[in-house]
Structure 1
Amino acid sequence: MRTADLTATARIRNAAIELFARDGFQKTNVRAIAAAAGVSPALVIHHFGSKDGLRAVCDEYVLEVLTSRARAAGTSDLLGEYLADPDGYRSQLQYMNRALAEDSPAAQSFVERIVGEAEAVHQAGVAAGAMRESSDPRALAVLNVLVSLATLTMPPALARALGQDEFGPAVLRRLAVPTLELYTYGLYTDDTALRAATAADEEMSEP
């Protein structure tokens, strides 16, 4: 494929990511994507076959960008990775936020991949003596991903609770130390709540 074609393909893909994230898949049409990319609707169809085909390419691209960055940074350091390059994450995170809201196949694939990465990071941390073991490593991985995704897709109202108009580097700086305090030291001073929850779980599990 010629370089010009590759450039057009990337422009179409990037325009589609922006529009799908902003307006949703159903409300975005090929004509709008073509206009945003500076190409004809026919060229969009030529490269991707259909809007569904274009979405599949966008899904895979966003998944690869986000999971490769999470893998490189370590899932537990997603906040730090975002803080270092907020603009580099913006469109992909907005796209995935929309996918999560629509419960799309892309969102399911993303969650499955990143939970697996989180579980692997925890296993490596335990083996290295840097992290504590868990009674349920899979559930712990899901919890870690939940916290990361909730933070990275924070609604404006929660950002305003920290004195900012929107989520961004200033909010992350405010959250960074308390987050690591919670992960490093925990919240409770004794195991009363843990023992109560464990006892209740065991009681409910009895036949």
Structure 2
Amino acid sequence: MDVLLDNLDLYGPFFLTTIKLFVLAAIASLVFGTFLAMLRVSPVPVFRAVGTTYVTLLRNTPLTLVFVFLVFAYPLLEILELSYFTAAVVALTLYTSAFICEVVRSGINTVPVGQAEAARALGLTFTQVLGSIVLPQAVRSVVPPLVSMLIALLKNTTIAAGFSVAEAGAIRQYLSERGENQLVGLLWVALGFVILVAVLSFVQRSLEKRWSVAR
């Protein structure tokens, strides 16, 4: 307990940064990933090709390389200056959205084709069919894998520590500088992540229970 209590000035702010990083990247990934899924199932070949290319490239690129590009290579383009925190959010979003896309697309494929055809027969556009008919059902069917992707995103935030972002993954380095027991310090970090993952798991169970009744 001494390691934790003596270093609350590290654990508190750094875990808060981790949570902010996770929440922002999670929201952006869900939105962008859903948009990519819409491209993947679009009737327009060009849109499908764009979505497929993006997902293929990002799913097969290590997250660390995405961070390297955003932190070191992107500034050389001199387009828009990004802070280390913002670059981390963008990197996590670009990477995670590719996996979210595939999860959402698998959910879309579970919706009977007849429902989309009936909606189109009533005069609904492709966007209206997806937004009002298909996506609500698709998301309900993929809650567990979606939450699994978010849990993976939460743990991936620790990579940001290697790129000058003061979050939970960087606590060990600061404990080393203070001469604290790093093993005990890392155990407290691990416990912190276990608690955060438990919260996400609770949310998953709650959504599954609520939506299973609604269906």
**Fold match by TM threshold 0.5:** no
- TM-score of the two chains, using structure 1 as the length reference: 0.29
- TM-score of the two chains, using structure 2 as the length reference: 0.28
